[in-house]
Amino acid sequence: MKIMHLADFHLDSAFSGFDRAAADTRRAELRECFIRAMKIARERGVDLILIPGDLFDTPFCTSATRRAVFGAIKDAGCPVVIAPGNHDYYNKNGTYADKDLPENAFVFTSGELGRFDFDDLGISVLGYAFTSDRYEENPLINEVPLSNDNINVLCAHTEIGVNFSKYAPMSAQAISKNGFVYAALGHVHIKGEPLKIGGSVIAYSGFPQGRSFDELGEGGAYIVDIDRKTKRVELDRIVLSTMTYEALRVDITSLSNDEDVIREIERVALARGYGENVALRVYLVGSIPSDYSPNINRILGDPAFARLLLLQIKNECIQGFDLEYLEKDLTVRGEVYRQLLPLLNSEDENERKKASLALKFALAALDKRELSLD
């Protein structure tokens, strides 16, 4: 038995980082991404599609999106089960209550745990709907209406492992304890590794196509193969995205003019093969002379980057300090730098900013120099 598991499209997203025309293009691409997913499901002989929430960015959608989504679901050629999430929560006047919803779409409409039985497939899907933008109870805390005859799978928009979450908190252990062979989850956009607990496989499908620099790299979905006899679960990751958001840290230590910075960014970006389907954010890092500050607008406007879908640049350089010298410095100055180094190299942009500011103030204090917050 083959199941397609995908979630968190957020169709009709605002795309506020783009101008109006580009935002319209991004929204159209997301719709095409969903249509492509439904075509792949049909081509791969998928028996059932599970969408655990946030298919849309709000409970309502534009007429263009409604036509595209309803048509794609109808053409999928198999049942499509949807568990509305915190963004596209069920509303009696919303998209999921539309009279033209295809007959092969099965939507949970209550906050109570419910079940759709597909006896011809030998599978039952349990799930629930967000009916507002939050769901603070554990959906599995009461009796779980499992099928005694079919394989039971869970289709749920949830944040597992966070006890006081506003998004249907539950635990992986509870999912396993209740006997779900597979749990198709939505809400967490970074998919991570599927969990295997007891007889259960638990997975977030992640974002299907990135919408911002919080969603880096390729997006996709899972094809889930469940053996009816052994209940063995195998996952096959498929790529759905046609464009990606990417981030690079480019070290411009000792560079002192915009032209050299442009060439270094270009060299690193070209080495990665980034082109017209990439929205790129570059973090400039390293130590630069105190009398040079990169002109971001000048760099962004260089023709070398016209091929990119989008380019953003964030300057995180430290001016006026020799970082290689500081790393070897045996005085307090060097120790301050070494203590801050893990944070200066953190994946978290805010942590890097704080660490950089802390280093500037610490070194200024040690040198008995005044340093303005500005």
* pLDDT at residue 186 in the model: 98
d(CA 51, CA 87): 13
d(CA 84, CA 155): 10
Residue 305: DSSP 8-state: G
Give the phi and the psi of residue 131 in degrees, each rounded to 5: -115, 5
Q: What does pTM read for this prediction?
A: 0.86
* pLDDT at residue 367 in the model: 65
Neighbours of 304 (CB within 10 A): 14
* pLDDT at residue 327 in the model: 77
SS3 state of residue 226: strand
Residue partners of 283: CB distance under 8 A and separation at least 6: 247, 248, 249, 250, 314, 316, 349, 352
* pLDDT at residue 338 in the model: 86
Q: How many residues does the chain have?
A: 374
* pLDDT at residue 369 in the model: 59
Closest CA to 24 of 34, 36, 33, 12: 12
d(CA 67, CA 70): 5
SS3 state of residue 123: strand
d(CA 55, CA 35): 12
d(CA 323, CA 343): 14
Per-run averaged pLDDT (10 residues), the chain, 374 residues: 98 87 93 98 98 98 97 97 98 96 98 97 98 96 95 98 93 96 97 95 97 95 96 97 95 92 95 94 89 94 93 86 73 84 81 80 72 52
* pLDDT at residue 340 in the model: 83
* pLDDT at residue 325 in the model: 66
d(CA 177, CA 341): 43
* pLDDT at residue 322 in the model: 67
* pLDDT at residue 101 in the model: 97
d(CA 344, CA 316): 9
* pLDDT at residue 48 in the model: 98
Please report the domains of the chain, with CATH numbers, ordered by start residue: 2-239 (3.60.21.10), 244-366 (no CATH)
Neighbours of 240 (CB within 10 A): 20
